[in-house]
Structure 1
């Protein structure tokens, strides 16, 4: 089931403690554009189907990644795309957006997403993998 835009943004805004919906929207757009570059096939399509249309389109038409970004480089790339961001604030933005993605996707799909990502993304999603 698709999460409504308002519910998705409210989740991001509350988790990120943003003062405005615009700040939450900006973080969501950047993080999903970068995430979309790392996902392929049915996993990306299934996640897109669960996101509000605006964000589904961003996920399906991502920034082109020449290589998979490690979690550290994903954080740096996010900071570079958000005006005035630092790596610390970018990590906060990523956590806010990915918690909303997790809420929309559910645990089974999140596990499939993590299989397509380099090691360490489980921490960004707030789902540390058991050893």
Structure 2
């Protein structure tokens, strides 16, 4: 397994979680911060089950503490779901979601995370995931780099 490292994070402030949720709210066009926060926590928790080993730890390093907790709250799955399977699993976890709206929710969160982590770090992460995740991160140009 290749060790994936992302840029070390600077000390987090209380506003980092609030800023992350606000960015998700704006990206996903959620009417309230509470809705954006709920979606963010659910998606991060689910995504924590997709990530494994070094990529999981490295990605957690670039997140605010609250987001890191959500990401690490889920035990990694025994297999990595495809992007489609991941979205379908989120549809069952997000109240009232359909596969189409779950894709919107997932993309809203992962787009913000990609922006915050930066393209090189996100590309390294995507290269360790099954095909299709690049689109969920809003990085279609990386489609050919996914393993």
Q: Do the two structures share a fold, i.e. TM-score over 0.5?
A: yes
Q: Give the superposition deviation at 1:38.
A: 1.9
2: CA distance between counterparts of 1:44 and 1:66? 14
1:114 aligns with 2:126: yes
Corresponding pairs, count? 131
CA contact (8 A) 2:135 2:143 kept: no
Partner of 1:41: 53
Divergent runs of 4+, >3 A? none
2: CA distance between counterparts of 1:64 and 1:49? 17
CA contact (8 A) 2:60 2:71 kept: yes
What RMSD in Å do the two structures reach over aligned CA positions?
A: 1.6
Q: Which moved more, 1:62-71 or 1:5-14?
A: 62-71
**Unaligned 5+ runs, structure 1:** none
Q: Give the superposition deviation at 1:116.
A: 1.6
Q: Which residue, 12, 17, 39 being the options, matches 1:5?
A: 17
Q: Which moved more, 1:95-104 or 1:39-48?
A: 39-48
**Unaligned 5+ runs, structure 2:** 1-8
Partner of 2:3: none
1:76 aligns with 2:88: yes
Q: Which has the higher contact order (CA 8 A, sep 6+)?
A: 1
Partner of 1:59: 71
* Partner-residue secondary structure (3-state), 2:127: helix
1:86 aligns with 2:98: yes
Q: Which moved more, 1:74-83 or 1:43-52?
A: 43-52
Q: Give the superposition deviation at 1:125.
A: 0.7
2: CA distance between counterparts of 1:48 and 1:112? 14
